[in-house]
Amino acid sequence: MTEGTTSAAQGGDTLTRLEQEGEIAADYLEGLLDIADLDGDIDMDVEGDRAAVSIISDASSRDLQKLVGRDGEVLEALQELTRLAVHRETGDRSRLMLDIGGFRARKRAELTELGAKAADEAKNSGEPVKLEPMTPFERKVVHDAVAAAGLRSESEGEEPQRFVVVLPA
């Protein structure tokens, strides 16, 4: 009986830890927005096994676009800086996910569709389908979409030219 209690307590501890990561990240990002004189609200959540923090704004999305950058490059850098701020406070490595202005959510939807199409192509042709190089986040979304379609995929190559190959059944 104590075994179940322990795992429930550990699950609660994990949730509390992820919520703490979200709080630290939100404080860090609020300071960053103040320094940059940008308007934005911080939304925190826990998605699966990671804290998720979003910066959203009612104001001009052009302001937030500066924080996303070309193809999400600035967003990726801000995510790493935010993870470092969390690490500095907690001593633990963070897998926190940052989204700005819904960029990552839109990207996830596009990549899910790309993964599903590549899976269909591999099923129909019987040949492996190689995709363009992607970031680790992008590859993960595509791998998940391929798995949901019932196929396997793997990553090949070296960063930053690492890409997904969808394998036929």
Express each pLDDT in 105-134 by its tens digit.
999 999 999 999 999 999 999 999 999 999
Lowest mean pLDDT among 46-60, 71-85, 121-135, 145-159: 46-60
pLDDT, position 23: 96
pTM: 0.79
Return the amino acid letter for 62.
R
Cα separations in angstroms, 73 against 67, 69, 134: 9, 5, 12
For 126-162, the pLDDT digits (tens) are 999 999 999 988 999 999 999 999 999 999 999 999 9
Strand duo 50-56 + 97-100: pairing: parallel
What phi, psi does 156 have (nearest 5°)?
-135, 160
At residue 11 the predicted structure's pLDDT band, cuts being 50, 70 and 90, is: low
Task: Give the whole-angstrom CA distance, residue 117 versus residue 39.
Answer: 38
B/e letters for 4-14, b = 16+ CB within 10 Å, e = fewer, are eeeeeeeeeee
Return the amino acid letter for 120.
D
In the chain, the percentage of residues whose pLDDT exceeds 90 is: 77
**83 within 8 A of 50, measured Cβ to Cβ:** no
